[in-house]
Amino acid sequence: MKIKKNFLIILSWMLLISCQSDSSKAYVPESNGNINDLTVVMNNSLWEGSLGSNIKKYLMEPYEGLPFDEPKYDLYYIQPSIFKGFARSSRNIIVFRKDTSDQGFKLIKNLWARPQITALITGEDEEVMNFYFDENKDLLLRSISENERIEKIRRMRKSLNDDPQLKDRFGINLSFPDAYSTVKDTTNFVWIEKQVVKGHLNIIAYTLPLNIDLKKIEERIPAIRDSIGKIYVPGRVPGSYMITERAYLPYYYKTKVNNLEAILTKGTWEVQNDFMAGPYINYIIKDTINKRNIVIEGFSFAPTESKRDYMFELNTIITTMKFAK
């Protein structure tokens, strides 16, 4: 009987803890804000001083691969006295606080809302806080970037496109909104497009042989893009087609998509014999199982609009690539 009684007591405590945990989660509000919004909380003297200057310089660096500079993030400054209530529901927050007893850098998930990334940076003075920010800024930005990517995917999944072209043609799936539609589907090429204000967003996909020469990527990738553009991506006038813009040097990175090795290129495109241009992102993904390279590229055309959020959307879509089951 004693064993049974102890068991019932333990079970009661487990149920109580479970209920408290569930109820606490229910009271955490949903985070808010546009994609790539970032809230900074600190005293006005710090915001106007060297710490504020350093934060603005780093967090508002240009988003890579755009024809004109646009910042990575839209910063919103809030003084500590008004940082409460709805302001604490922002999705990405950096709080600077003078404190001599608990100095350092802390990265916390879902502190006041969900999903949310909050960085707490404390120090005895401006110099110390600047030090902790510089030491951890790369980790901070990677965490915020991933948080925004996941949030963008969550929003897109509310109305996904279920067209089977990519699955049927290449055996892959991408998560993208139903505002996109297929405009071209041939033997080794799929083109998907979404209309936006005064322009359009585009995703194209094709394959290359696994053993294709990619040693000199600065030469080979633009050449591959130009050859594909000439065949499949015409401009508005006869004889025009998409090529790589040579006036802006692309950015090249080694990365991974779905745990597959990939080469990421960010640059700008233009149309041969026409006045059209814009940014692009190109992933060449190594698929050793199927003995091929999968190329997925996103490019936008919206001459009078900002491009950062458009390119962020296209990049996020490409990172969802998975093999179809």
Q: Which of 233, 254, 239, 242 is nearest to 279 (CA)?
A: 242
For residue 278, what pLDDT is reported? 95
Query: Binning pLDDT at 50, 70 and 90, where does residue 17 land?
Result: very low
Query: Binning pLDDT at 50, 70 and 90, where does residue 325 land?
Result: confident
Q: CA-CA distance, 259 to 175, in Å (whole number)?
A: 17
Segment 9-34 mean pLDDT: 54
For residue 5, what pLDDT is reported? 40
**Mean pLDDT over each residue of the chain, to the nearest integer:** 90
For residue 20, what pLDDT is reported? 37
Pairing outcome for strands 117-123 and 92-98: parallel
Q: Which of 232, 266, 256, 309 is nearest to 37 (CA)?
A: 309
For residue 22, what pLDDT is reported? 38
Q: Which of 233, 300, 229 is nearest to 68 (CA)?
A: 300
Residue 24 in this model has a pLDDT that exceeds 60: no
Q: Which of 109-113, 162-166, 246-250 has the highest average model confidence (pLDDT)?
A: 109-113
For residue 4, what pLDDT is reported? 41
pLDDT in tens, 254-310: 999 999 999 999 999 999 988 899 999 999 999 999 999 999 999 999 998 999 999
Q: Which residues contact 274 (CB under 8 A, 6 or more apart)?
A: 235, 236, 237, 240
Q: Which domains does the chain carry?
A: 37-156 (3.30.379), 160-323 (3.40.1000.10)
Are 302 and 314 in contact, with CB atoms under 8 Å apart? no
pLDDT in tens, 86-130: 999 999 999 999 988 889 999 999 999 999 999 999 999 999 999
pLDDT in tens, 186-204: 999 999 999 998 899 999 9
For residue 19, what pLDDT is reported? 35
- Which pair of structure tokens corresponds to residue 239? 């004889």
For residue 115, what pLDDT is reported? 94
For residue 193, what pLDDT is reported? 97
For residue 10, what pLDDT is reported? 37
**Number of alpha helices (DSSP H) and beta strands (DSSP E) in the chain:** 7, 15
For residue 274, what pLDDT is reported? 86
**Weakest-pLDDT range from 24-38, 148-162, 225-239:** 24-38
